[in-house]
Amino acid sequence: MKFMRRLWRTLTEPVYLPLADKAEDTYRALSKGGRGLFVFLSSVLVVSAVALIYLLNAQLIVAIPGYGGGLEEGIVGSPRLINPVLATSDADRDLSILVYSGLLRATPGGDYKPDLAESYSISPDGREYTFVIRKNVTFHDKTPVTAEDILFTVSKIQDPALKSPLRASWSGVVAEVEDPQTVRFTLKSPYAPFVQNLTLGILPKHLWQNVSVEEFSFSDLNASPIGSGPFRVLSVSRTPSGIPSSYQLRAFDNYALGKAYFSYLTLKFYQSEAALRDALERGDVEAASGLSPTSVSSIPEANIMRAPLNRVFGIFFNQNQSELLRDIDVRRALEESIDRATLVEQVLQGYGTALEGPIPPDILPRETPLRAAAQNNATSSDKATLAKNKLIAKGWKESADGTLSKTTGKGKAAKTTTLAFSLSTGNVPELRAAAEYLRQEWSKVGAAVDVKIFDQGDLSQNVIRPRKYDALLFGEVVGRELDLFAFWHSSQRNDPGLNIALYANSTADKILEQLREIGEEQKRLELYNKFAIEVEKDIPAIFLYAPDFVYSIPKDIVGVELGFIETPSDRFLSAPFWHRETDYVWPIFGR
């Protein structure tokens, strides 16, 4: 009890501070004017200290992305197979890249970084790829991701009965599970572009293993997918006929690369580009992708992002069908008469990149030397005149209607060839416009060109596959790893090969084969350059442009990086890092 009373007195007794008492005595001793000066100087000291602290804080704090908010985006088409094994449409791929994740994740810069994989190694001979899966990574239903899930996904792709569009990419690959966290892939021979396969989204085996091949395309899991990607499906809205009209996605807390900053993404689907454009103008959606140049004019320029698509559009010659086009002087004249910059401006309203060779833009560090030396500042009309004069110098003569012709041989052996051929292309506005531009330009050279327009299915089945065309205006979708083998190797001249120029060059073949085996970037660039020079000498095709991918997205969204675009879904490669919110913290508290 005595102890408690002493403690109470101690706590309640006033604290004696000699320094404070001395300061008080000094203050009282000051005159009235001195006291005022003291108060003023003290105030200055306090304000200065506060300002100094504020400035120091402003210098030290950093801005970091904040969590919260989201985006509503419109897409043309409706998703049906949100499944990385089966996805074929842009809508399917858009959702798949957000919902699923793979061992590796492609970056907008064209590289790859581990995603589900913690680490990986490649054998010295380039045939074995071994991956160790991160611990504690799960699917959206909280089930752990294991090597068995990877093996299951690959086996489904390789099943011929399933008819996966990725099957050719996995042909001959042996996948094996070493332990629950380790998987190994063995190739028959080195294939450098194989790394792209490893971005494949992984299916959860425990959900799909009891779905038969016959039911695979019809499973509800295709419409309500469960993956391990940065976003999970929260809800689906449908039209009265049952067609999905929107998907509401939420950030997945346990995503391998860290939770996305956006809390949600809402994807809304429209049946035409016109309907999407109207929705964007009304404010029903904030963003829209894959817009054509004609749709961009009404969108604020500040909201438009663009990047070259990894596609090569050009005119591919079928010298087997057209004897005229076997003449390299004719092919060269046709090529030299085209002003690609004008074509891009008139047909694509400037949303494209002029091409001089078979390699997509921004890959080779410089133009190939032959074509670079041939460039000049001639106008479109001058180019046509110069090309025409070169043909006349080679023995071609102009008829009354302006068409050129050439007679070879004498007497009964004489043969007259007219500069006339057909140009086939698809029934797409940009392709129709490009074909008409080419017809007009080539008429100035003295060529009579018959433009033939085909619907896409008809063009593929009845023109391209049987190789029934003189010249074909078409676009090649070149993969992320730029494997040009299928497009240009002589073994691919017949269907189902994609060598639509029917190109055969033994030197080019060897280069294409080397490119499949060599993974070192600098060596690959050197080989691409050599290949481009070979193609340039032979002129099996005239390369025109790579169209731009056009993306309308609010300018206040930070972190959007388009970079390398192979397919429109690649715009979402940086989606986990998009944000509208910003926090200001000391560096030690940054993410």
Give 17-72 as a DSSP string: -HHHHHHHHHHHHS-HHHHHHHHHHHHHHHHHHHHHHHHHHHHH-EEEEE---EEE
- pLDDT for 369 equals 39
Residue 294: pLDDT band with limits 50, 70, 90: confident
Q: What does the domain layout of the chain look like in residue ranges?
A: 70-286+553-589, 311-406+416-548
- pLDDT for 588 equals 55
- pLDDT for 361 equals 85
Residue 368: pLDDT band with limits 50, 70, 90: very low
Give, in order, the Cα–Cα distances in Å from 200 to each of 75, 183, 210, 397, 398: 22, 14, 21, 57, 57
Assigned CATH topology for domain 311-406+416-548: Dipeptide-binding Protein; domain 3 (3.10.105)
- pLDDT for 133 equals 97
The pairs formed by 492-501 with CB atoms below 8 angstroms and a separation of 24 or more are 494/467, 495/464, 495/465, 495/466, 495/467, 496/465, 500/316, 500/318, 500/464, 500/467, 500/472, 500/474, 501/316, 501/317, 501/318, 501/540, 501/541
- pLDDT for 61 equals 66
Structure-model confidence comparison of residues 290 and 70, the more confident one: 70
Question: Do the beta carbons of residue 38 and residue 27 sit within 8 Å?
Answer: yes
Look at residue 410 and tell me whether its pLDDT is greater than 90.
no
- pLDDT for 581 equals 81
| Candidate from 124-128, 297-301, 351-355, 427-431 with smallest mean pLDDT | 297-301
Average pLDDT over residues 171-197: 94
- pLDDT for 298 equals 74
Q: Which tens digits make up the pLDDT trace of 137-160?
A: 999 999 999 999 999 999 999 999
Residue 591: pLDDT band with limits 50, 70, 90: low
Residue 372: pLDDT band with limits 50, 70, 90: very low
| Residues 286, 279: Cα–Cα separation, whole Å | 9
> What is residue 7's three-state secondary structure?
helix
Look at residue 201 and tell me whether its pLDDT is greater than 50.
yes
- pLDDT for 275 equals 92
Q: Residue 107 region, left (φ>0) first, then alpha (ψ -120 to 50), else beta?
A: beta
Q: Up-side HSE of residue 431: CA atoms within 13 Å toward CB? A: 21
Sheet order of strands, 397-398 included: 397-398, 404-408, 415-418
| Residues 337, 389: Cα–Cα separation, whole Å | 11
Average pLDDT over residues 362-373: 50
Average pLDDT over residues 543-554: 93
Average pLDDT over residues 36-54: 71
Q: Which residues make beta-bridge pairs with 583?
A: 64
Diameter over CA atoms, the chain: 141
Q: Which residue has the tokens 């395309």?
A: 217
Look at residue 110 and tell me whether its pLDDT is greater than 90.
no
- pLDDT for 291 equals 82
Residue 366: pLDDT band with limits 50, 70, 90: very low
| Candidate from 105-114, 339-348, 363-372 with smallest mean pLDDT | 363-372
Residue type, 473: L
- pLDDT for 59 equals 63
- Dihedral sign for Cα atoms in the order 321, 327, 332, 334: negative
79: Cβ contacts below 8 Å, ≥ 6 apart: 89, 91, 92, 94, 95, 223, 244, 247, 269
Average pLDDT value for the chain:
88
Query: Among residues 187, 192, 229, 198, which one has the least CA distance to residue 97?
Result: 229
- pLDDT for 511 equals 96
Average pLDDT over residues 395-409: 91
Q: Which tens digits make up the pLDDT trace of 26-35?
A: 656 667 666 6
Look at residue 17 and tell me whether its pLDDT is greater than 70.
no
Q: Which tens digits make up the pLDDT trace of 332-345?
A: 999 999 999 999 99
| Residues 591, 583: Cα–Cα separation, whole Å | 11
Give, in order, the Cα–Cα distances in Å from 587 to each of 158, 241, 395, 583: 49, 53, 75, 11
| Residues 46, 82: Cα–Cα separation, whole Å | 63
Question: Do the beta carbons of residue 116 and residue 202 sit within 8 Å?
Answer: yes
Q: Up-side HSE of residue 247: CA atoms within 13 Å toward CB? A: 27
Average pLDDT over residues 36-61: 69
Q: Which tens digits make up the pLDDT trace of 441-477?
A: 999 999 999 999 999 889 999 999 999 999 999 999 8
Average pLDDT over residues 433-448: 96
- pLDDT for 222 equals 96
| Residues 477, 540: Cα–Cα separation, whole Å | 18
Whole-model pTM? Answer: 0.82
- pLDDT for 4 equals 55
DSSP 8-class letter at 361: T
CATH class of 70-286+553-589: alpha beta
Average pLDDT over residues 510-536: 92
- pLDDT for 575 equals 96
Residue 381: pLDDT band with limits 50, 70, 90: low
Tell me the residue ranges of DSSP E strands in 115-220. 117-122, 128-133, 174-179, 182-186
What's the gap between Cα 83 and its chain centre?
Answer: 19
| Residues 545, 543: Cα–Cα separation, whole Å | 7
Query: Among residues 467, 523, 519, which one has the least CA distance to residue 492?
Result: 467
